[in-house]
A and B are shown apart, each in its own frame.
Chain A
């Protein structure tokens, strides 16, 4: 499996501010995804991070709120913009390597918005 790191591991932010989460993989991967896990809930896909082009967002998630970058095959960022307490969640990146079908997840970023 790939080694995936996320920064920061956790943060406490004030309402109205933005936070950028980084996801780094130790090898090139075909696909990268961003998920949200609200407290006590399951995981929901936010978007597919496309290398060199705009991310593909799921219903209910928009680029202005969750801008995503993926400049190369090993790195992606997710920004949570203009945060509100409802954004308090764990944000996880996942990767899928060429020829495989399972996704491996990063350790997650635990975000609390006050």
Chain B
């Protein structure tokens, strides 16, 4: 069975600090997909990024960057120069190619203080 671990329960930073969210996964499938979702206080779940198991290229999108390393089964997420609007719960998730069902990590609550 697939499994996603987000060891950090809560992270609190001051605005403009960088914050890195850790995600470690387990799967026996060779083809799988990794995701990050954001859930702000309003409650909706916002898709941020998908990474395919066969594509280890890191990605940067504005202040967000993602580091995918198959060797350590990790898919970490960094917010650079954090802002108050980044305050949310961030979920890492995994799906396998044969059924596409999402398994979520426990989530990391990020609080950015002004």
Where the two chains meet, the residues of A that have a C-beta atom closer than 8 Å to any C-beta of B are 1, 31, 33, 35, 41-45, 48, 58, 90, 92, 94, 96, 101-105, 107-108, 110
Contact = CB atoms under 8 A, between A and B. Distances in A.
Given A48-B101, A101-B33, A43 B52 contact: no
A102 B50 contact: yes
Contact of A42 (B47, B91, B95, B99): B91
Contacts of B95: 101, 103
In the complex, which of the residues A31, A92, A102, A105 has the most CB atoms of chain B within 10 Å of its own CB atom? A102
B43 interface: yes
Instruction: Categorize the interface residue count of chain B.
Output: 20 to 34
Contact of A1 (B47, B52, B102, B107): B47
Interface in B57-114: 91, 95, 99-107
Contact of B102 (A41, A90, A103, A110): A103
B52 A108 contact: no
Contacts of B102: 33, 35, 43, 45, 94, 103
A101 B50 contact: yes
Contacts of A103: 35, 47, 95, 100, 102
By CB atoms of chain A within 10 A, which of B50, B100, B105 has the most? B100
B44 A105 contact: yes
The 6 closest A-B pairs by CB, nearest first: A105-B45, A42-B104, A102-B50, A43-B104, A101-B33, A42-B106
A102 B47 contact: yes
Nearest to A110: B43
A45 B44 CA distance: 16
B52 A42 contact: no
Contacts of A48: 99, 101
